[in-house]
């Protein structure tokens, strides 16, 4: 069952030092009146954690019963909880925002106090405290003040009502079966807990591709059941959003248009939104994929995306609801010979000219890169480019292009690189993380979204180690300054226990090297794709090369790569700002790992590493296979250090990965050997 409980298993602490440090405080919990469902969740979690990790059955009392025993005191600042009032200064209280918390060791009153302005803040405070315990930190002199950096920390489920999950690699949906909403509320509640434990505060529960049945989610056919899901998530501070079909007024409204400027259409949406808020009074808002990959949108009516989204925003505004409008808009039926329609340019070309035209409750949701969640690509130049527009970043936790949860690929280091990327949109402090936390341009709304990687597999994520990506995403959304290594270590300790150094170091090394290993045996130097069409698993160098999707590598007998320069290519480089333009425009300065994303070069081009492109391809692919095999061996050394079931599960996946890595190596190397005719310097076998 450990795999199901994931990082919330709360395994019994072995270290006597930690037990001695925590036990005296943890037998008594002094709380405020538990009249709020989120406070109930917080108290339940605290007792559960203490029970699991310390084997202590804590007594719970309301504050007035305090009789001088050591305790954990929890309460909101306005609750008149004497210990909370005594512990936190005015300055601390004002420093805590609506979802922040403070934890302090009050030796005078003999308590560890967890205080917050709101019940949700309290819940986060409890999870933070349990994290300290689970990772064995001392609490003798705690003085923590913490606020989530990003306002919206959102999960996007790509679940369909028939129970399937688009790009899901961990079984079926936990939300839906056979065209009905699930009745397994326990599982949903466990998911809500997991999300709250990492600070997620919003969830869109259906796929962005909204088809016939999901279109009816906003009708009485489904709304009452959706309200029940909202109840479950609300108890953990997570707001519910729905993805909608832009053509709803036609498909379910009986109108003959969905034109955003048509007054009947506007009226229809207004009435619809009122209907939704009647059943879900704290409904978050609507998530929209429009004019993308055959989904309907405002373009049909010759309207732009500001007109398209503002119509919905207007309907939501009176309720405080928001429109999350995706920028993944491109022509998916383009002519592959026409490089001026470079897909990488599309989002910027569509949206940049609309800066300043979106209503205050519209947020643009921009994928981290301009293509589509590849193992490596440039950072989307839209970040920083729209001063007067709310923006959030979209990551993909589900490993569509990064091994589909059969290969281990810890994505936090990739996300960190994106967040730290300097857009040069301002003189200083213009990294992507400052754009998406709203601080750079003082936006009203901003934040993180990501495509979830969970399903109904017992361990949630298919590959047990993929739990680390879910965990890491939430932690990063709360605080983008956390480092990838620290997040990995935390996840390992909470999942497998904090005592065994060898285990911690081994798993940490596996996680931290996994992205580069995956990259090394798949598509080289940032060019991306080379996967089998449709399902996107496994190598197929020309799988997309001659199709309509705009995803090419342009390999011929002389060279490879996409020329995206201003001078001779698609001009995409011009979408960047400041020093990034020169950096990418010139072959001489473009970083190796993105060379083929920005340039078309001969196979004999010499990289900064001193190797030719072709030799780099051969070497990384041989090396990647060796390193993938090494992961398997490393994991083997952990046998006996955890339950067999978890050990076997990961061992099986790592075996499969090692095999598939060879397939990648052989296909890629053979392809380029035959294209280029240039042999491997080291004369290894290339088939
Ligand atoms: C691509 C997926 C596709 C999604 C699309 C999107 O292949 O299934 O619908 O992104 O983000 O990565 O809308």
E strand intervals along 254-321: 285-288
Distance CA 550, CA 273 (A): 37
Instruction: Tell me the pLDDT tens digit for each residue of 166-196.
Output: 999 999 999 999 999 999 999 999 999 999 9
For residue 535, the CA-to-ligand 1 centroid distance in Å is: 11
Q: Determine whether the shortest distance from the Cβ of 479 to ligand 1 is under 6 A.
A: no
pTM over 0.90: yes
Contact by Cβ (8 Å): 112, 73: yes
Instruction: Tell me the pLDDT tens digit for each residue of 510-539.
Output: 999 999 999 999 999 999 999 999 999 999
Residue in 231, 293, 349, 626 annotated catalytic:
293
Residue from 168, 293, 543 to probe ligand 1 pocket by mutation (most atoms less than 8 Å from CB): 293
**Average of per-residue pLDDT values in the chain:** 96
**Integer angstrom CA distances of residue 401 from 204, 232, 376, 539, 620:** 22, 32, 10, 11, 18
* Residue 220 or residue 32, greater confidence: 220
Radius of gyration for the chain, computed over Cα atoms and rounded to the nearest angstrom? 26
For residue 454, the CA-to-ligand 1 centroid distance in Å is: 16
Q: Determine whether the shortest distance from the Cβ of 289 to ligand 1 is under 6 A.
A: yes
Distance CA 573, CA 580 (A): 8
CA angle centred on 487, ends 486 and 489, rounded to 5°: 65
Looking at residue 333, its pLDDT comes to 85
Instruction: Tell me the pLDDT tens digit for each residue of 394-403.
Output: 999 999 999 9
Q: Determine whether the shortest distance from the Cβ of 400 to ligand 1 is under 6 A.
A: yes
Residue from 165, 166, 343, 543 to probe ligand 1 pocket by mutation (most atoms less than 8 Å from CB): 166
Contact by Cβ (8 Å): 503, 642: yes
> Given a cut of 80, is residue 298 above it in pLDDT?
yes
For residue 411, the CA-to-ligand 1 centroid distance in Å is: 18
Return phi, psi of residue 144, to 5°: -105, 135
Q: Determine whether the shortest distance from the Cβ of 537 to ligand 1 is under 6 A.
A: no
Place of tokens 């009226």: 267
Can 372 be counted among the known catalytic residues?
A: yes
Looking at residue 63, its pLDDT comes to 66
Residue in 372, 457, 519, 563 annotated catalytic:
372
How far does Cα 172 stand from its chain's mean position? 19
DSSP 125: H
For residue 328, the CA-to-ligand 1 centroid distance in Å is: 9
Looking at residue 296, its pLDDT comes to 95
Can 545 be counted among the known catalytic residues?
A: no
Can 293 be counted among the known catalytic residues?
A: yes
């Amino acid at each position: 069952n450990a795999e199901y409980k994931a990082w919330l298993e709360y395994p019994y602490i072995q270290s006597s030092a930690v037990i001695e440090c925590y036990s005296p405080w943890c037998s008594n919990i002094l709380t405020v009146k538990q009249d709020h469902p989120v406070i109930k969740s917080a108290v339940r979690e605290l007792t559960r954690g203490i029970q699991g990790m310390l084997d202590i059955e804590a007594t719970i009392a309301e504050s007035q019963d305090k009789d001088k025993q050591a305790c954990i005191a929890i309460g909101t600042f306005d609750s008149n909880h004497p210990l909370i009032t005594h512990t936190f200064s005015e300055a601390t209280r004002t420093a805590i925002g609506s979802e922040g918390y403070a934890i302090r060791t009050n030796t005078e009153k003999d308590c560890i106090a967890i205080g917050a302005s709101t019940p949700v803040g309290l819940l986060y405070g409890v999870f933070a405290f349990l994290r300290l315990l689970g990772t064995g930190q001392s609490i003798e002199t705690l003085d923590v003040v913490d606020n989530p950096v990003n306002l919206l920390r959102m999960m996007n489920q790509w679940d369909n009502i028939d129970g399937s999950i688009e790009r899901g690699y961990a079984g079926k949906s936990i939300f839906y079966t056979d065209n009905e909403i699930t009745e397994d509320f326990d599982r949903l509640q466990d998911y809500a807990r997991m999300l709250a434990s990492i600070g997620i505060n919003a969830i869109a529960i259906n796929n962005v591709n909204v088809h016939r049945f999901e279109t009816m989610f906003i009708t009485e056919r489904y709304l009452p059941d959706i309200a029940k899901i909202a109840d479950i998530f609300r108890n953990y501070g997570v707001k519910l959003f729905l993805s909608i079909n832009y053509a709803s007024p036609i498909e379910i409204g009986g109108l003959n248009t969905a034109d955003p400027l048509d007054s009947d259409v506007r009226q229809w949406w207004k009435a619809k939104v009122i209907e939704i808020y009647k059943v879900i009074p704290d409904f978050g808002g609507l998530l929209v994929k429009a004019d993308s990959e055959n989904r309907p949108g405002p373009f049909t009516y010759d309207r732009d995306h500001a007109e398209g989204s503002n119509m919905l925003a207007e309907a939501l505004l009176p309720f405080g609801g928001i429109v999350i409008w995706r920028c993944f808009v491109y022509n998916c039926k383009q002519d592959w010979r026409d490089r001026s329609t470079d897909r990488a340019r599309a989002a910027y070309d569509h949206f940049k000219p609309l800066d300043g035209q979106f209503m205050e409750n519209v947020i643009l949701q921009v994928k981290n890169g301009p293509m589509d969640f590849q193992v490596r690509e440039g950072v989307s130049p839209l970040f920083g480019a729209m001063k007067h527009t709310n923006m959030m970043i979209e990551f993909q936790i589900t490993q569509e292009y990064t091994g589909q949860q059969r290969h281990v690929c810890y994505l936090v280091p990739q996300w960190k690189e994106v967040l730290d990327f300097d857009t040069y949109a301002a003189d200083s402090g213009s990294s992507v993380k400052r754009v998406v936390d709203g601080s750079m341009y003082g936006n009203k709304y901003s934040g993180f979204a990501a495509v979830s990687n969970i399903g109904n597999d017992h361990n949630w994520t298919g590959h047990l180690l993929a739990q680390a990506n879910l965990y890491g995403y939430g932690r990063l959304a709360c605080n983008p300054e956390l480092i990838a290594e620290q997040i990995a270590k935390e996840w390992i300790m909470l999942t497998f226990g904090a005592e065994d150094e060898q285990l911690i170091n081994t798993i940490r090394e596996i996680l931290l090297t996994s992205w580069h290993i995956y990259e090394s045996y798949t598509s080289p130097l940032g060019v991306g794709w080379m996967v089998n069409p449709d399902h996107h698993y496994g190598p197929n160098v020309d799988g997309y090369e001659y199709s309509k999707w705009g995803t090419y590598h342009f390999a011929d007998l002389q060279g490879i790569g996409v020329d995206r320069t201003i001078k001779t290519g698609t001009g995409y480089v011009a979408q960047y700002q400041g020093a990034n333009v020169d950096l990418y425009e010139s072959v001489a300065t473009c970083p190796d790992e993105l060379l083929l994303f920005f340039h078309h070069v001969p196979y004999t081009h010499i990289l900064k590493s001193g190797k030719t492109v072709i030799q780099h391809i051969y070497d990384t692919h041989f090396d990647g296979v060796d390193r993938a095999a090494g992961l398997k061996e490393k994991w083997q050394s952990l046998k006996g250090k955890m339950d067999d079931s978890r050990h076997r599960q990961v061992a099986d996946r790592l075996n499969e990965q090692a095999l598939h890595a060879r397939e990648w190596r052989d296909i890629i190397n053979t392809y380029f050997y035959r294209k280029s005719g240039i042999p491997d310097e080291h004369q290894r076998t290339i088939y």
